Amino acid sequence: MSTPYDAGDAGLHNDSLVPLNKDEQTWGWFDIFNIWANDIQSLFGYSLVASLFIAYGVTGWTAFAALIAAGFLVMFLVNISGKPGQKHGIPYPVLARASMGVAGSKLPAVLRAVVAVFWFGAQTYFASTALELFLVAVTGHSGGAEFLGLTLFGWISFVAVWAFQVLLFSRGMGWVSTFLNFAGPVVYLVMAGLLVVLWIKSDGQLLSAAQNIFAPENPTFSGELAGFVAIVGTMVAYFAAVMINFSDFSRYSKSTSSMKFGNLLGLPLNMVIFSALALLITAGAAVVYGEQLTNPTDIVERTDSILLSVVAAFTFFAATVGINLVANFVPAVNGIANLAPSKLNFRRAGWITALFALVIGGFWVSLISQIGISSFVNTLGAMLAPLYGIMVVDYYWLKKQQLRLADLYSTDPNAAYHYTNGWNRSALYA
């Protein structure tokens, strides 16, 4: 593929890093909506939202309001971080060159890639548990003896999920987008099914149980405010990684307005609907099973419905693979490709990501989850937070929303983003 940037440094561009043309920016609001639908409507997302209604000791109304406020706040922040990607058609690693330098951008990109690769492997394992649930449901067998913490069904499921993701990325971003558009909405099917089952089994007590969650028990203003802030902070932290590299997705959007509309529907509005369903299902489970269950797979297992188990397994699989592609695979591939663009294209970087994921996911139960590596990776992730502020201030205040695209792909000492040997020391020190 010949591009206007081929005259620049070959070590700074490839097909996945060059700006998209207008005719390549084909995503509408529904595609953007499903970025967030997949991020929210996952197994972890459900468990997180459900637990927030009971974890901070605040009334249900306070928790609900905090979730909605978090949705609007994240929407505002991603509208800001997503605009440069849409306007210029560039991914996060290239956008980072404007503020960090053409060489300095490799540091934040590789940090984001390390975090993403690690969690891509972990989420591949988590997605495989949904497929394992399906195999157990249809065979009635427990899965056999364990090896490295996984049963035979566990290993079959893990390798199958890994191979499915490899198939998706090998077909390119078009197939990834198609899968996301399917996986996002389908989650509501199993949630609706769970709600119906629990409604029937609760003998009409589901709504009263939900009202009890909203009933205040000697709340204080300071306690409610502290809980409100904590819940908002938790949800913002949950979305932080995607907020930083949102230009990886917004670059495909047809317009800034369609991006913003997709963010509006995918964050605040979707958060309202998803939170309400999570609340009702959690309340129903408390009535029917006598305990507060925040993991949807635990609820499904207790329904003793093979049909619901099969549908749920399929849905949870789709949802977890969806968030894996959004939050982990795409940023990992772009970050790795940015290390050596002339040698690492989308497919090669994808294979590197997939092979690391195979090792990480395979050893997740027996080793990695036991030795605290996740805390180290989360610390690396926390180091990315200041980069959001640096990139936003640089683009909107210093650059006045204008970029010299050719200079983003040039190592010429006179180029705008060469700074000092390719590093912007001021941004690095910040």
Residue 7 has what pLDDT?
Answer: 45
**Which of the 8 DSSP states describes residue 311?**
H
Q: How far is CA 367 from each of CA 122, 244, 295, 328, 417, rounded to the nearest angstrom? A: 12, 30, 23, 21, 43
Sign of the torsion formed by the C-alpha atoms of 52, 129, 113 and 405: negative
Measured from the Cβ of residue 392, the count of other Cβ atoms closer than 10 Å reads 16
Cα gap 176→163, rounded to integer Å? 14
- pTM, entire model: 0.85
Cα gap 305→164, rounded to integer Å? 27
**Would you report the helix, strand and coil content of the chain in percent, each value rounded to 5?**
75, 0, 25
Cα gap 428→408, rounded to integer Å? 18
Residue 209 has what pLDDT?
Answer: 72
Residue 69 has what pLDDT?
Answer: 95
Domain positions in the chain are 42-400
> Topology of 42-400 in CATH?
Hydantoin permease (1.10.4160)
- 3 state DSSP class of 27: strand
Choose among 160, 191, 192, 195: nearest CA to 321.
160
| 145 Cβ contact partners less than 8 Å away, ≥ 6 residues apart | 151, 152
Cα gap 381→357, rounded to integer Å? 18
Residue 96 has what pLDDT?
Answer: 93
Tell me the pLDDT of the chain (430 aa) as tens digits. Answer: 434 554 456 567 787 888 999 999 999 999 999 889 888 877 777 778 888 877 787 888 888 899 999 999 999 999 999 999 999 999 999 999 999 999 998 888 888 888 888 888 888 888 888 788 788 878 877 777 777 878 888 899 889 999 988 888 787 777 878 888 888 778 787 788 888 888 888 887 777 777 776 665 677 888 889 999 999 988 888 888 889 989 999 999 999 999 999 999 999 999 889 888 888 888 888 888 877 777 777 777 777 777 777 777 777 778 778 888 878 888 898 889 888 888 888 888 889 999 998 988 888 766 666 665 556 555 655 677 788 899 999 999 999 999 999 999 988 888 999 898 889 888 777 6
Asked if residues 72 and 267 have their Cβ atoms less than 8 Å apart, the reply is yes
Choose among 320, 278, 48, 274: nearest CA to 180.
320
Asked if residues 270 and 185 have their Cβ atoms less than 8 Å apart, the reply is no
**One-letter amino acid identity for 143?**
G
Residue 2 has what pLDDT?
Answer: 39
